[in-house]
Amino acid sequence: MSITIPKGVSYTKRGLIVSIFGRAGRKGEKGISLLETIVALVLLGIIGVSFLSATATTTRSRVVADEHVSARIIAEAQLEGIREQRYAPSGNYALDPLPSEYAGYSVNATATAMYNGNMQKIAITVSHFGKVITTLESYKTRRVDETS
C-alpha cells in the first residue's frame, strides 16, 4: 500500500510537517528563517495599516453625517418657527434660540419678497464653526386674514 504525500507536506520519523510557505521542512530544521519572519511582519503591517485607514475613514464619514443631520434638524425647526409667525412684509423673522447640544452651530435666515410682496422665499442657512453645512428653502405667503 502506497501513501501519496501532498505538496507542501513532508514526512519525518516524528510525523508530518506542514509548511506555511508551500515547502516542506528540512530535516533538522528548527524554527523559521529570518526571511519568513520579515515576510510575515510585512504582511501583518499591511493588514494593520489597511484596517487603521478604514477605521479613520469610517469615523470621518460618521462625523460628517452627524453634522449634516444636526444641521438639517436645526434648519427644519427654525423654518417651522418662521411658518408659525405672522407674515412680515419686511422679512424680519425671529429665530428660535439653539439648544445647548448644538454648540458651534449658527443659523441665518433670509426672506426675499416675491409676487408684489404677497410671497416670500425663506432660506435658512446652518453653519458649523463658520462652515456652511446646509441651506433649506421654503415659501411663506401672506394669508387673507393677515392683511393689514
Tell me the pLDDT of the chain (148 aa) as tens digits. Answer: 566 666 655 555 555 454 544 455 555 566 778 888 999 999 999 999 999 999 999 999 999 999 999 999 999 999 999 999 999 888 899 999 999 999 999 999 999 998 888 899 999 999 999 999 999 999 999 887 765 5
Which of 3.30.70, 1.10.3470, 3.30.1300, 1.10.3210 is the CATH number of 58-146?
Answer: 3.30.1300
The structural domains of the chain, with segments of one domain joined by +, span: 58-146
3-state secondary structure 5-26: CCCCEEEECCEEEECCCCCCCC
Residue 121 burial class via C-beta count within 10 angstroms: exposed 0-12, middle 13-18, buried 19 and up: middle
Grid cell 501513501 in the structure block, residue:
3
CA dist 147 and 117 (Å) reads 11
The predicted pLDDT at position 2 comes to 62
pTM: 0.65
124 within 8 A of 109, measured Cβ to Cβ: yes
Sequential DSSP letters for 49-68 = HHHHHHHHHHHHHHHHHHHH
For 142, the enclosing helix (H) or strand (E) is: none
Q: Residue 11, CB half-sphere, CA atoms under 13 Å: how many? A: 4
